[in-house]
Amino acid sequence: MKIFHGGINREEFTDFSISVNPIKPPFFEKLFSNKLVEYCGKYTYIEQLEEKFAKRYGENTVILAGATEALQIIGFTLMEDSEVIIPIPSYGEYARIASFKAHRIHFVDILDYKNRKLDYSILENYIKDLKRKNRSGKNTVIILGNPNNPTGYYEKNIASFVDRNIDERTTLVIDEAFVDFIPEKDRVDLSDFENTILIRTFTKFYSIPGIRAGYVKSKNFKSLFESYRSPWAVGAMGYLFLETLLREDIYALNRFEKNTVEYTERERKKFEDFTYFISNTNYFVAEIGDVEKFLQILHHNKMHVRTMYDFKMSKFVRIGLKDEQSNEKLLNLLRDWRESYGLHSRLYR
């Protein structure tokens, strides 16, 4: 199964299809020091970082080569011969890893176009119905993103959802790749729940898509990930990133997080008129209509956005926030598009 991830191989373009933090972390330049050359010449054992990592990010954590390695392990182990439930829309990798070994994959459309959000009650009803009909004795794995990719919607009542639906034969995998963009006061901590796996990556928030570094957090499955992770998969660059991150002053990191969250909220608000679904993170979905024509105009202006054909949302695009100047250029183009081609926006419905 081939997955479309968006992006455009044109260096002169501003690529709004990529949803990474436009603000670099305070220690970014340290990642290109002589230490990188040194680490490229030897094996880097992430086990040497894990005690300090656990103190910073909590017990039951396992360092991995980003969310991708976590998903691969889940696909080949927990999903084997299981009933896998994936809400739609979701990150395409969920379906791909489920196709490795799952007994059956269930796609559940939870889009609520009228209220511009995701309706988790639809997913909950489907889970209950499947459990009632499941006479084969198969285990169930539910995998979802919170915040959701592609909409940016964050389900704040996720704890009660977990409490009602997860049991000894049902495992919940939550991809929290974008959760750091959510204000800390609004984040829901699920680390104490049984049969729950939280996937975290540093790629998005720390603006390092070329470095594979992340972790999982789970009370029940820590040993599983320790057993199946690839030795040295994080690599020299990933090791140096993690080592530098753990040495960085916690107050400097907290300031960076606070500044990023405030910047994201401020810039996202500028696009409020064009945001279709409620977004709580650094990207949003806009209804465009004629996406191909819109892309032509964008490309003429050396800009690119994420099409959503693979999500079966052919009239929509996903837009990741950039620096203020780039955001302003795109915002002006969206305004022109609305005036000329009748863009469907929240205020015009």
Phi and psi, residue 235, nearest 5°: 75, 175
Average pLDDT value for the chain: 93
N residues, the chain: 349
What domains, with CATH codes, occur in the chain? 14-19+251-348 (3.90.1150.10), 28-248 (3.40.640.10)
Residue 123 φ then ψ, to 5°: -65, -45
Token duo for residue 343:
């863009």
Q: Express as a percent the part of the chain with pLDDT over 70.
A: 95
- Angstrom distance (rounded) from CA 192 to CA 326: 41
DSSP string, 35-82: HHHHHHTS---GGGGHHHHHHHH-SSEEEESHHHHHHHHHHHTTTTT-
Whole-number Å distance between alpha carbons of 17 and 15: 5
Query: What's the rounded Cα separation, in Å, for the pair 305 and 288?
Result: 11
Q: Which two structure tokens, joined as six digits, stand for 231? A: 């030795």
Tell me, what amino acid is at 188?
V
The span from the CA of 55 to the CA of 220, in Å, is 19
pLDDT at 329: 97
Q: Under a CB-based contact definition with an 8 Å cutoff, are residues 260 and 207 in contact?
A: no
How high is the pLDDT of residue 1? 60
Only one residue has tokens 């993690």, namely 242
| pLDDT tops 80 at residue 50 | yes
3-state secondary structure of 299: helix
Q: What is the mean pLDDT of residues 93-121?
A: 97
> Do the bridges between strand 61-64 and strand 214-217 make them parallel or antiparallel, or are there none, so unpaired?
antiparallel
How far, rounded to the nearest angstrom, does the alpha carbon of residue 291 sit from its chain's CA centroid?
Answer: 24
- DSSP tally for the chain: helices H, then strands E: 11, 14
Q: Where are the beta strands (DSSP E) in the chain?
A: 14-15, 61-64, 83-88, 104-109, 111-112, 117-118, 140-145, 170-175, 196-201, 214-217, 283-287, 303-304, 306-307, 316-320
CA-derived radius of gyration, the chain? 21
**Residue 341, pLDDT score:** 74
**Running DSSP on this structure, what letter comes out for residue 211?**
S
Residue 210 burial by CB count (10 A; 0-12/13-18/19+): exposed, middle or buried? exposed
Mean pLDDT of all residues in 83-98: 97
Please name every residue paired with 175 in a beta bridge, in sequence order, or none if there are none. Answer: 145, 199
How far apart CA 192 and CA 218 sit, in angstroms, is: 8
Q: Model confidence over 207-221: pLDDT tens digits? A: 998 899 999 999 999
Q: How much helix, strand and coil, in percent to the nearest 5, is found in the chain?
A: 45, 15, 40
Reported as a single tens digit per residue, the pLDDT across 1-17 is 655 556 676 778 999 99
**Range 273-292 average pLDDT:** 96
Q: How confident is the model at residue 34 (pLDDT cuts 50, 70, 90)?
A: confident
Would you state the pLDDT for residue 32?
A: 86
Please tell me the pTM assigned to this model.
0.93
**Which is more confident, 342 or 255?**
255
- Check residue 347 and give its pLDDT: 39
